[in-house]
Amino acid sequence: MTISSSSTTTSGVATAQGFRAAGISAGIKPTRKLDLALVVSDAPAAAAAMFTRNKVQAAPVLVSQEHLAKSGGIVRAIVVNSGCANACTGEIGMSDARTMAKETASLLGCPAEQVLVASTGVIGVNLPMDKIKSGIPQAFSALSSARGGQAAEAIMTTDPFPKEAAATITIGGRTVTIGGMAKGSGMIGPDLVPSATMLAFVTTDAELAPPMLRRALAEVVDDTFNAITVDGDTSTNDAVVLMANGASGAAIGDAEYPQFVKALYSVCLDLALGIVRGGEGATKLVAVTVSGGASSADARTAAKAIANSLLVKTAIHGGDPNWGRLLAVAGRAGVAFDPNRAKVTIGPTVLFADGRPYDDRAPEAAAYLKNTDVAVGVDLGAGTAVSTVWTCDLSAEYVSINADYRT
């Protein structure tokens, strides 16, 4: 599957018909930056969602799962705050997350279970509920199909820029829009399905039956949000939600499914790569492709190990074509691997093959590593499976961002 970037616009979560969004400052962040987002579908929408696999699940994750089960996957709105994760906050945290949904539902005139909740920020601190309670009506009043960008800003934590993407396809003569927003930065790890303090909300005006919607999301997440990493850590709060309200009048059946999935993939990949580009302290986007795997799982495991290696990430940050580190990580990744048939490439340059180094080509690879978007590859020499994982470099700025996140 390839990115159909020609169909990608700069719009986001409120671009599809029948969706509105808002992002306001409720005062949760001491900086007074936007910190409360609301995404609303004018009509009840089918929703598919995937949450963190972390055994510590934040209150909003637990409440959203409850609500989806209770509503049969019918959702009207998602309310999201940044600045506080509402994780590890005990019974008070659960009650606060329920209150966020209830307050939103009462404004919309829908059952509370049709509202999903998400939070991101510091773990272990209770939400300032007075600010949340006065913020929700404020966001509700601001709802507009033109305010997806503000919503994308309001869900940011250490993100250097908002992440939005959209694509349109034509189904039976009707224009179907898929749009979304995401936030990431830290605690972005590859054990996603989903993982990381990663939030992604995607909306479409296509009509899909809930089972097909869930299938589409699961299929796409594996090669997008599941294939990125910033620091290999997995958050307590991750959520990817896909809502389909059918407002375009175009129904997706088996015949249209491939076209829909392809467009959904392009939106999700855009958002996922945006998270990596905006990774904490990141200066480079790195595509790590492992080929020659005995199985897809092996290829993915090795690609993730390389993508999470501090030694690899710092070498790429420094523009150092230290290909031996790539090989060493592949060797410790616990997958089938034949050093005598293995190959290491940095960009187009082969630096190790046939069991021997081609280190004289290092200057060529060093020149290539001056690019902002770089690709590195390891062939495991053990089969034919291939997997790509995207990561960013590791800079001194990552350390300063994370050394004093709370303080």
Least distance (Å) between residue 361 CB and a copy of itself: 11
Say if strands 349-353 and 163-171 run parallel, antiparallel, or are unpaired. Answer: unpaired
* 286 near a copy of itself, judged by CB under 8 A: no
**Residues in contact with 120: Cβ distance below 8 Å, sequence separation at least 6, in sequence order:** 80, 81, 82, 85, 155, 157, 183, 197, 199, 235, 237
Q: Is 396 helix (H, G, I), strand (E, B) or coil?
A: helix
* 275 near a copy of itself, judged by CB under 8 A: no
The count of C-alpha atoms lying within 13 angstroms of the C-alpha of 339, restricted to the half-sphere facing its C-beta, is 11
* 350 near a copy of itself, judged by CB under 8 A: no
Give the interface size with a copy of itself as a residue count (CB under 8 A).
73
Among 27, 44, 111, 324, binds a copy of itself (CB under 8 A): 324
Say if strands 174-183 and 163-171 run parallel, antiparallel, or are unpaired. Answer: antiparallel
Among 32, 53, 70, 174, binds a copy of itself (CB under 8 A): 53
* 43 near a copy of itself, judged by CB under 8 A: no
Span near a copy of itself by CB under 8 A; candidates 5-13, 129-137, 209-217, 349-357: 349-357
Sites for a copy of itself among residues 73-92 (CB under 8 A): 85, 87-92
Question: Which of 181, 186, 155 shows the shortest CA–CA distance to 82?
Answer: 155
Beta bridge partners of 289: 377, 388
- CA dihedral for 253, 255, 256, 259, sign (positive or negative): positive
Q: How far apart are CA 329 and CA 352, in angstroms?
A: 14
- CA dihedral for 215, 218, 221, 227, sign (positive or negative): negative
In the set 197, 203, 229, 301, the catalytic residue is 197
Among 8, 15, 17, 54, binds a copy of itself (CB under 8 A): 54
Query: What is the C-alpha radius of gyration for the chain, rounded to an integer number of angstroms?
Result: 21
Q: How far apart are CA 246 and CA 196, in angstroms?
A: 30
Span near a copy of itself by CB under 8 A; candidates 22-30, 33-41, 262-270, 326-334: 326-334
Sites for a copy of itself among residues 353-382 (CB under 8 A): 354-357, 359, 362, 366
* 352 near a copy of itself, judged by CB under 8 A: yes
Q: Would you say 58 or 101 has its CB closer to a copy of itself?
A: 58
x-marked contacts with a copy of itself along 189-208 as a string, rule CB under 8 A:
x-x---x-------------
Concerning whether 197 is annotated as a catalytic residue, the answer is: yes
Q: Would you say 237 or 289 has its CB closer to a copy of itself?
A: 237
Among 104, 168, 177, 236, binds a copy of itself (CB under 8 A): 236
Enzyme catalytic residues: 197
